Chain A
Amino acid sequence: MTMTAATLPVMPPALPGTLEIRNISKAFPNVQALTDVSLDVRPGEILAVMGENGAGKSTLLKIINGDYQQDAGTLSFDGQQISFSNPSQAHKAGIRVVYQEPEIVPGIDVAENIWMGELPKRFGMLDRGQLNKQVQQSLVEYGFENVLPIHHYGDELSSAQRQLVEIMRALKSGVRVLALDEPTSSLTDEEVDRLFALVRRLRDEGVALIYVSHRIKEILRLCDQIAILRDGRLVALQPASELTEDEIVRLMVGRKLSDVFQRQRAGTEREVLKVEGLRSNWHSGVSFHINAGEVVGFAGLIGAGRSELAKVIFGELPKSGGRILVNGQEVTIHRPDQAIVKGIGFAPEDRKREGLVLMRSVVENASMAIMRQVTRFHFVRNRLARSIATNYVEKLQVRTPSLDQEVGKLSGGNQQKVVLARWLAAKPKVLILDEPTRGIDVGTKAEIYRLIDALANEGLAIMFISSELSEILGLSDRIYVMQNGRFTGELSGADATEEAVLKLAMADHLSAAQTGIAAITQKDSSQ
């Protein structure tokens, strides 16, 4: 079903103004982000780049923009090989990527932001009249004069307006290759129409365009060619007219489940965590439950509100309504320490920023959540703390020269194990794992999967948040799919397929008929 690189259409000789991407590979520690990707971005054409979270879209854009440098392969533009060591070199060459959150200077207005670095001068002073006239003229020309008031300051702008500022910067500097990264995620329908009009107009003016989005319908409406990345490889490159929504989803998901997951589904009927009608800045009425011995997966696109859900439950972010019950008892949680007392543990997504005190030792980090148990009259019982830490460090096979080793000097996988050791030591009833395998090597991943399975079998209720669909499918007894701060479906782990999860995760952007795959949908989100 899937296309291999060999069957891809042979590229015709490049037109002038074509960005040729040839055999690009890029690796990060533990992750091969891109493998041998070749694409042409032709003038007068809109190329969509699609793929799951982590498929390599952002890495590709960052290489084009000069934020990253490829390990292998070449970029050519106008037939000339190019290499940028920073974004401003790419901008000078007429190549620009507009990210979701472009850098806008907060304290100066729109006009100055657009012309930053090349402000018109008169007698050595800023020629504000000239500046405003020029900016207003170009805004009117593209139909954005009402959307982007030139005298608003940078910090007053919405995400959409910030993106427009960045696009206007690009236009002013005579851009020839323009890439837009998820440009419509925060736009209203009317704004989307305007943006599309602009993109089409640029195409007709001969600009080469890259358009990255999750929204399949939009892509089919707007784009000429579709490139699909999966696990860092180009798996399809076809004219948009030859593809359907279903085919795109299948190509994005593709792979078969590997055998690394051996989950003995052992869920009981005893509810350990129950959340009813939870509301917050990020959530509009979320209800779910996790039983003892159950691994419940939380799937969704980045930004769907899953990490925030974990933090609201854990008391790190404020909730504005709804109830949280642990073992049938309603609990009041305003701070993380209260959540821990109620039997909830939380291993956050970003272990360096949120999980660990890197400059402190393994034993201190591992015993941080059990201070109450290992102190007597506030004095730390060092021997007790060390023996508990040793126990879990050995159980999890943390590779460290000693318990006194600075955690910052361990590898990513071992750091993650220290976080897990901390929570196992605390013996919670509910363990929330937010992206527990992000950025760690395959071997350690498999160890963590086995650990999750074993913990559930011991009766722990596990809330498992992950953006890797294969993990979610391989480990979860049940799966909740989130989008925009609410659940769009609940699937049983046995029945779920990657296609079904992905469709629910993008439900807003697909037609209603196609979400019918989900059998038990809407149960909770309707409450």
Chain B
Amino acid sequence: MSKEATIQPSTTTPAKRTNFVRRVIGAIGADNLSLLFALIVLIFLITLVSGWFGLEGGNKFFSWQNLMNSLAQAIVIVGLLAIGETVVIIAGALDISVGSIASIGSVVAASVLVGAGIFGALGTLTTGNVVIAVAAGIIAGMLAGVINGFIVTVLRVNPIIATLGTLAAFAGFAFLLAPDGKPVGVLTQPQFTWLAQGRLLINMSVPSLGGGKWTGIPVLTVILIIVAVLVHILMTYTDFGRAIYAIGGNATAARLAGINLNRVRVLMYVISGGIAGLAGVLLTARTTSGNPVNGVGLELQAITAVFLGGAATAGGKGTILGTFLAVILVGVLNNGMNLLGFNTFVQRVALGFLLIAAVAISQWRQARAEHVRTKIVAEN
């Protein structure tokens, strides 16, 4: 008995610590924890492989040059699209048209900025106004989202079919918006291209890493983080977020509990479209041209990242943090393979199998959770 008494006080500190650890793990989520683990393993592998074969790539990985210029910028566009896509996938739907919406956003922003094409009439008023150009790109994306929402809710077309249709239609529309179907150059607008080339916090004193000096955080990356945080707040703390999870979990039950399914679904496509429009704007800034092919094929990478991030294919499960980690994971994979000298074809093969592996693991987990659930019910 006395033994126990002596143990008591000393156990309180570890207990507190495990509580704290448990809380942190709870906040991150078990799925996200395994993503973090995968990320660490991947980085470890990159350095290990480069060490074995005496490649320089591994050393280059941990340099500000690589981390900020290559990695942090490369993930932004797909990252934005994936965040919008996460909302749609959690609701149990899909938006395949985000790549084409990005193309529209790209062309519209560039055209408004320089007064080209059908936006020429507006040109005298707005030429050179970065804020209006960015807003125009986002609004164009939101309008595209309204169309997606209308087709899914009012016309009752299956989301996959609906956005497969608008994927083609919006891609064509992006060409129609561009004057003669040609890209609109924005090289003469340094204020606008700053969005892609600019750096923030340049003067902060950060020790150099891997021989590379601190050169600030890319504006692009900051925008990605801001959007991620905003959508995370939307999904976690608002009635809209609750409704998205409820609809994805059980649409009938959600409707019978008073959720207006159509309103939520239209809103979710508007959000996904608006973010895709923003991604298009940033593509224009990065490539210095509003090009109708800017967004082609991006939807696949975005959807890959969402599923990799732990979202359930049937809906109801997923987090913005998970998608964000998955985007970084894919970014590191591509970056590392680049550094190690693999060509892009190998990267594509790797990415494809990564997606399948991620979904297979999540299916296996779901089956296990289901098993546990039925066991509990049976015991009751």
Contact = CB atoms under 8 A, between A and B. Distances in A.
Interface of A: 29, 314, 316, 335-337, 340, 346, 348, 353-360, 364-365, 368-369, 371, 375, 378-380, 382, 408-412, 422, 426
A314 B254 CA distance: 14
Interface of B: 237-240, 242-243, 245-246, 249-250, 252-260, 316-317, 372-373, 376-378, 380
A357 B260 contact: no
B246 A368 contact: yes
A29 B258 contact: no
Contact of A368 (B254, B260, B317, B377): B254
A375 B243 CA distance: 13
Contacts of B377: 29, 411-412
Given A364-B246, A368-B246, A409-B373, A378 B255 contact: no
Contacts of B237: 379-380, 382
Given A357-B250, A380-B239, A411 B260 contact: no
Contact of B249 (A336, A359, A375, A378): A359
A40 to B, nearest CB: 34
Contacts of A346: 256
A67 to B, nearest CB: 19
A426 B257 CA distance: 10
Contact of A314 (B245, B249, B256, B378): B256
A348 B255 CA distance: 12
A255 B254 CA distance: 40
Contacts of A380: 237-239, 242
B250 A369 contact: no
Contact of B316 (A337, A359, A365): A359
Contacts of A356: 250, 253
Contacts of A369: 257-258
A379 B258 contact: no
27 contacts: A29-B377, A29-B380, A316-B255, A335-B260, A336-B258, A353-B252, A353-B253, A354-B256, A356-B253, A357-B316, A360-B249, A360-B316, A365-B257, A371-B242, A371-B258, A371-B259, A378-B238, A379-B237, A379-B239, A380-B239, A380-B242, A382-B237, A409-B372, A409-B376, A411-B376, A412-B380, A426-B258
Counting chain B CB atoms within 10 Å of each CB, the highest count among A368, A369, A379 belongs to A368
Nearest to B254: A357
Contacts of B252: 353-354
Contacts of B372: 409
A379 B246 contact: no
Given A335-B260, A371-B242, A357 B249 contact: yes
A391 B260 CA distance: 26
Counting chain A CB atoms within 10 Å of each CB, the highest count among B249, B260, B317 belongs to B249
A202 B378 CA distance: 42
Contacts of A378: 238-240
Contacts of A340: 258
Given A378-B239, A380-B237, A357 B245 contact: yes
Contacts of A353: 250, 252-253
Nearest to B315: A359
What are the 4 closest A-B residue pairs judged by CB atoms, nearest first?
A411-B380, A357-B249, A368-B257, A340-B258
Nearest to A366: B257
B380 A359 contact: no
Contacts of A335: 255, 260
Given A348-B256, A355-B256, 12 more contacts: A353-B252, A353-B253, A358-B249, A359-B316, A359-B317, A364-B245, A364-B246, A365-B257, A371-B239, A375-B239, A380-B239, A411-B376
